[in-house]
Structure 1
Amino acid sequence: MSERDAAGDDTAGDGAAGGGHGDREFVVVVVEPETPGNIGTIARAMKNFGLSDLKLVDPPEFGRESEAYGFAGHAREDVLPNAETVTFDEVVDTYHTVGTTAITGEDARRHVRFPFKTPAELRESLATVDTDTALVFGREGTGLNNEELERLDELISIPANPDYPVMNLGQAATVTLYELRSLFLDGYQLPEVEHERAPEHEIERFYEQFSAFLGQAESREHKRTRSERLIRRLVGRAHPTSKEATTLTGVFRRATDLLERADHSERERADGDR
């Protein structure tokens, strides 16, 4: 993750939650942010993914007319105005701390930046742990330094292009909070069921209609058999909805009818020519 860290997305919602499931508390800490705009971006990402407790170590001054509020979206109403200025020592003394870094050690010989987890791995490890946790992001230009990293409990790093792994502060926080969102949110704006497969009798009706179409369009039996097998595999993977299955059935029914009429007309012409 970042040697610049943190976050910001554009889908601010009205229903951002607090700071964790049950009694656990999750907070976001930004160490010496350099620009108010990045503070606002991080606050917005927090609102997107269900966090509300923002803590700042040596932040720049910013007011309601600053970029911080301009970039914060709906987070200007609660996350940003309630942000608390703290010291790094207070964070380390109060929370289980997770630092972010783009530059990692490859093995235990560089133990300051090794071992580390990806955000997804951190999500899995924290899912059943009852501990108040601080997600700590560093400066835009240099991230967290080695002295700070040495005092943190865990490190995470976002998998990225090895030729350019350093993300800006807003990107790193957005990606991290997105990956960890299930730790903060009990639900999303998305429906629980994204896709409902059509009943099997509707899908079988489509297969029957497709077979009838092939009876008109393909005279070679081995080709028809292979095509029927392939379409069954394709539709089986696609999990069509009821609307999709009935629409496809209708399309192939019309195509079959057209082929039958064309064949009938051709036979009539042939009979007339005799």
Structure 2
Amino acid sequence: MSDDATEATAADSAHDDREFVVVVVEPETPGNVGTIARAMKNFGLADLKLVDPPEIDRDSEAYGFAGHAREDVLPNADTVALEEVVENYHTVGTTAITGEDARRHVRFPFKTPAELRESLATVDTDTALVFGREGTGLNNEELAQLDELVSVPANPEYPVMNLGQAATVTLYELRSLFLDEYQLPDVEHERAAEPEIERFYEQFGAFLEEAESRDHKRERSERLIRRLVGRAHPTSKEVTTLTGVFRRATDLMEHADHGDRERDDEPRAR
């Protein structure tokens, strides 16, 4: 193995060992703690740390809102001091950044969650994502201790999000740092074979022969359908289904026309 390959393998291994934790500072309601625990479970995180949390018992809203995170994330949450987190992790604080600019805001500038994902993707460091209080967020003294700030882009007239919502959106945007795969199937799919697509075009042409008597209208419709299908990259099942639909429609129109002709040919009553 070459030196470059060895270094790349070592780097990948090191990144696999990175630790990501979620820290919530003085949450006021157990329900938001449960919501954050559930979001962590959704997006591949397990280590929840709470700074001065409210009382959280099995009958509280926290367990009611946590979903399956009540089985592991929530009961395993640690109570810590913020200073302990700052000493042991690269810290990213979350804030709405309301009414502030480079002259007045502590730790300005900030990243969006998407920008943070890109910057952390190639960095080997244990990271703590720090969320503040429901009402006031993280105060300036706390923000001054942290390494970076992240803010969710929102309506400038009302950028302040509920604590649970802000955590869910942030963790969603960062999910590729925690998850190697998702429940969704591959976004790529196999385009139908060209003979199948051509059979669909032929059937669509036969449909137009019955539905449209004007030649220029039929030609235009055939061009449009080719452009549409060409952009859509349909699967074999989709093309087969559409071909069948237009075949049935064509047959119905042919039978209707035949019945009309038979009625026209009948002797008129005298």
Global fold match (TM > 0.5)? yes
Query: Which residue does the alignment assign to 1:92?
Result: 86
User: Contact 2:38 / 2:66 at 8 angstroms: preserved in 1?
Assistant: yes
The 8 Å contact of residues 117 and 177 in structure 2, kept in 1 or not, is answered as: yes
Percent identity over the alignment is 86
Name which of structure 1's ranges 81-90 and 258-267 shifts more when overlaid on structure 2. 258-267
Q: 1:105·1:113 contact (CA, 8 Å) conserved in 2?
A: no
26-35 or 235-244, which deviates more: 235-244
Distance in 2 between residues matched to 1:46 and 1:139, nearest whole Å: 18
- Matches of 1:235 and 1:65 in 2, distance apart? 55
Tell me by how many angstroms 1:117 deviates.
Answer: 1.1
Q: Identify the match of residue 201 of structure 2 among 199, 207, 229.
A: 207
Q: Contact 1:21–1:183 at 8 Å: present in 2 too?
A: no
**What's the CA shift for 1:65?**
2.3
What are the within-5 Å matches in structure 2 for residues 186-225 of structure 1? 186-193=180-187, 195-225=189-219
The Cα of 1:185 is off from its aligned counterpart by 0.6
* 1:258 partnered with 2:267: no
Q: Which residue of 1 aligns with 2:109?
A: 115
Paired position in structure 2 for 1:36 = 30
Is 1:22 the counterpart of 2:16 in the alignment?
yes
Tell me the CA shift for residue 264 of structure 1.
3.3
Q: Distance in 2 between matches of 1:106 and 1:211?
A: 62
**CA displacement at 1:268 relative to structure 2:** 4.1
- Retained in 2: the 8 A contact 1:105–1:112? no
Structure 1 residues 116 and 104: alpha-carbon distance in aligned structure 2, compared to 1, 3 A threshold: farther
Q: SS state of the match for residue 129, structure 1?
A: coil
CA drift at 1:126: 0.8
Deviations 1:210-235 (A, max 9, x none): 01111121121111111011112222
| TM-score normalised by structure 2 residue count | 0.87
Partner of 1:139: 133
Q: Could you tell me how far apart the structure 2 residues matched to 1:78 and 1:46 are? A: 11
Who is 2:8 aligned against? none
Partner SS state of residue 103, structure 2: helix
Instruction: Give the aligned partner of residue 126 of structure 1.
Output: 120
How far residue 193 of structure 1 moved from its aligned partner, in angstroms, is 4.3
Q: Note the C-alpha offset of 1:201.
A: 2.0
Return the structure number with greater relative CO, CA threshold 8 A, min gap 6.
1
Q: Deviations over 1:94-140 (max 9, x none)?
A: 11111101125664223425211111111111111111100000001
Distance in 1 between the 2:64 and 2:249 partners?
A: 56
Structure 2 residue aligned with 1:47: 41
Residue 103 (1) aligns with residue 97 (2): yes
Q: 2:149 aligns with which of 122, 133, 155?
A: 155
- CA–CA separation in structure 2 for the residues paired with 1:186 and 1:160: 28
Deviation at 1:48, TM superposition (A): 0.9
Query: CA separation in 1, counterparts of 2:52 and 2:234?
Result: 54
- Inter-partner Cα distance in structure 2 for 1:256 and 1:197: 25
Q: Is the 8 A contact 1:36 1:62 kept in 2?
A: yes
SS at match of 1:149: helix
Amino acid at match of 2:80: V
Contact 2:98 2:159 in 1 (8 A): no
* Secondary structure of residue in 1 paired with 2:157: coil
How far off its partner does 1:173 sit?
A: 0.6
What is the CA RMSD across the aligned residues, in angstroms? Answer: 2.1
TM-score (norm 1): 0.86
Higher Rg = 2
- Equivalent AA in structure 2 for residue 92 of structure 1: V
Aligned position for 1:173: 167
Change (3 A) 1:64 1:265: closer
The amino acid that maps onto 2:88 is T
**Structure 2 CA distance for aligned equivalents of residues 180 and 108 of structure 1:** 25
**Letter of the structure 2 residue corresponding to residue 198 of structure 1:** A
2:224 aligned with 1:233, yes or no?
no
Query: Could you tell me which of 165, 176, 181 is aligned with 1:182?
Result: 176
Q: Point out where structure 1 has 5 or more consecutive residues left out of the alignment.
A: 1-19
- Count of residues paired in the alignment: 255
Q: CA deviation at 1:255?
A: 1.7
